[in-house]
Structure 1
Amino acid sequence: MMKLSKSGLATLLAALTWLPQAHSGLFDDDEARKALLDLRAKVEAMRIEMSARIDTKSDKSSTLDLVTQNENTLQEINKLRGQIEVLANDLANAQKRQKDFYVDLDTRLRKLEPREVTVDGKSAQVDPNEQRNYDAAMKLFTSGDYAAAASALSDYVRQFPVSVYTPNAQYWLGNSYYAQRDCKSAIAAQLVVLKNYADSPKAPDAMLNIASCQTELKDKAAKKTLQDLIKTYPDSTAAATAKERLGGK
């Protein structure tokens, strides 16, 4: 066993006292700080005890006892240091999980928030459900499943009567019926576009589609519908098509 002098023991104790202070800044967790404070208190108590015993006893056996106690304290310090490192690692993992949770929560909340879209030149706030349901209905239409598309679009205009997508949904509802050769339903759907959304860019095409259905039904009203289209929406592409149809008659 190494024999230490009084000055050597004092130096060692000073180093032990400094050691936990050097590491305490690394941890912010309450438990870690408490462990460090407890450790400092134990080291300080040992320092006081050793100083008192060195001052009153200088025999060899007392010195060896103090060295043994010092080694035990070092072992306890190492043990506590390991516990603090584990605690610090657990804290870091908990902080990462908490951060990931808030990021995920923020992402979910953003998905639920209305967002601004521009449809046919009009900007509006759209609820995520509006967007999702409209996109799903249009996907059915573009895939050629016109019966399912008609059902989905009909549900949409009923569920979201004032959505910025509703005029378009109503127009494509009429097209879904027309694609199934259900001209009567197609005319009824397009008449809703003209009545409720006359300023929609889809209105001229809705009127042209009505004329097409009337022609297939051999309804003489088709000619008047084309004339009204040219008069009401003279600058539209649909009006140009109407002129061609009328010119061919």
Structure 2
Amino acid sequence: MRGIALAMLLGAVALPARAGLFDDDVARKQIESVRIDHENRLGTLEASARGQIELANQIEALKQELAKLRGQMEVLTNDLDQAQKRQRDFYVDLDTRLRKFETAAVAPDASQSAPATPAADPANETRDYEAALNLVKAGKNKDAAAAFIAFTKAYPKSSFLPSANFWAASALYQQREVAEAARYYGKTAESWPDDARAPDALLGLSNCQTELGDKKGARASLEKIVSKYPSSPAAQTAKQRLGKK
């Protein structure tokens, strides 16, 4: 009996100790599980943060590249504007010089009898022409086109008609009225083939034909410049374009 009692006493003492050890193992496992879960979440957050930083860096790089491209576009646009202005100034200067010769060539001879029908007032004619030309100088292409077209109707016998038709075509082209521009360029080259503007008119016509999808006609216009006006600056441009086609 004493032995049984002693065994029961020892068992009673051992049970709380085993229970305490069991509780500690469970707690340690739970703590380890929480720690692992925490580390996993932390790793995920760090990966996400790195991804966001990389994305932010890529966005910043794209912004810098876009700013660079915008700067280059502004430079190219300015260069194009300057080139068009130089070309316009060149033609205006050429027009002024040619008008001096044209005016001298058509000056009335006092020994000749007066014409049967009264001629247009030269002062008004010159005034209207120069007013239209000033619109070209100012870059007011829409108004310039209307002014030159009105001039051709008001002064059908004017010595300025080749210039007026050419400038009307140029202003129309700048307004992107390509079909109408082609008509006036074609009229200039066909009606006044010996005029100094004829080669440039054919070059303008070729540009219009290209934009209108008439590649065959555009090439024919370039070939006509080379064959008929081989010494003109327009012929050099035409040769270069023909070499590319």
| Length-normalised TM-score, structure 2 | 0.51
Q: CA deviation at 1:118?
A: 6.0
For the residues of structure 1 that align with 2:140 and 2:101, how far apart are their CA atoms?
29
Q: CA deviation at 1:138?
A: 0.8
Q: For the Cα contact (< 8 Å) 1:120–1:201, is it kept in 2? A: no
Paired residues in the alignment total: 133
Instruction: Give, as a single letter, the amino acid of the residue that structure 1 aligns with 2:218.
Output: A
SS of residue paired to 1:218: coil
Question: What corresponds to 2:232 in structure 1?
Answer: 236
For the residues of structure 2 that align with 1:216 and 1:242, how far apart are their CA atoms?
16
For the residues of structure 1 that align with 2:101 and 2:231, how far apart are their CA atoms?
17
1:80-105 alpha-carbon deviations (Å, 9 max, x no partner): xxxxxxxxxxxxxxxxxxxxxxxxxx
Instruction: Give, as a single letter, the amino acid of the residue that structure 1 aligns with 2:131.
Output: A
Matching of residue 214 in structure 1 with residue 194 in structure 2: no
1:109-142 alpha-carbon deviations (Å, 9 max, x no partner): xxxxxxxx96274323371001100010011111
Counterpart selection for 1:204 from 199, 202, 221: 199
Q: CA deviation at 1:228?
A: 1.2
1:184-213 alpha-carbon deviations (Å, 9 max, x no partner): 000101111122211110010000000011
RMSD between aligned residues: 1.7
For the residues of structure 1 that align with 2:239 and 2:100, how far apart are their CA atoms?
25
Q: CA deviation at 1:146?
A: 1.0
Q: CA deviation at 1:165?
A: 1.4
Matching of residue 226 in structure 1 with residue 206 in structure 2: no
Over 3 Å counting, the alpha-carbon distance change for 1:212 and 1:118 in structure 2 is closer
For the residues of structure 1 that align with 2:193 and 2:150, how far apart are their CA atoms?
21
Which is richer in helix? 2
1:32-74 alpha-carbon deviations (Å, 9 max, x no partner): xxxxxxxxxxxxxxxxxxxxxxxxxxxxxxxxxxxxxxxxxxx
Counterpart selection for 2:164 from 148, 169, 176: 169
For the residues of structure 2 that align with 1:157 and 1:177, how far apart are their CA atoms?
15
SS of residue paired to 2:230: coil
Unaligned runs of 5+ in 1: 1-116
Whose Rg is larger? 2
For the residues of structure 1 that align with 2:218 and 2:193, how far apart are their CA atoms?
19
Counterpart selection for 1:245 from 229, 241, 245: 241
Unaligned runs of 5+ in 2: 1-96, 108-120
For the residues of structure 2 that align with 1:214 and 1:195, how far apart are their CA atoms?
16
Question: What corresponds to 1:156 in structure 2?
Answer: 151
Q: CA deviation at 1:143?
A: 0.9
| Length-normalised TM-score, structure 1 | 0.51
Which is richer in strand? 1
SS of residue paired to 1:119: helix
Instruction: Give, as a single letter, the amino acid of the residue that structure 1 aligns with 2:99.
Output: V
Question: What corresponds to 2:138 in structure 1?
Answer: 143
For the residues of structure 1 that align with 2:190 and 2:199, how far apart are their CA atoms?
12
Over 3 Å counting, the alpha-carbon distance change for 1:120 and 1:191 in structure 2 is farther
For the residues of structure 1 that align with 2:101 and 2:236, how far apart are their CA atoms?
22
1:204-248 alpha-carbon deviations (Å, 9 max, x no partner): 000000001111222112111111111111111111110011112
Matching of residue 180 in structure 1 with residue 180 in structure 2: no
For the residues of structure 1 that align with 2:230 and 2:221, how far apart are their CA atoms?
13
Matches for 1:111-130 after TM superposition, within 5 Å: 119=99, 121-122=101-102, 123=104, 124-125=106-107, 127-130=122-125
Over 3 Å counting, the alpha-carbon distance change for 1:215 and 1:150 in structure 2 is same
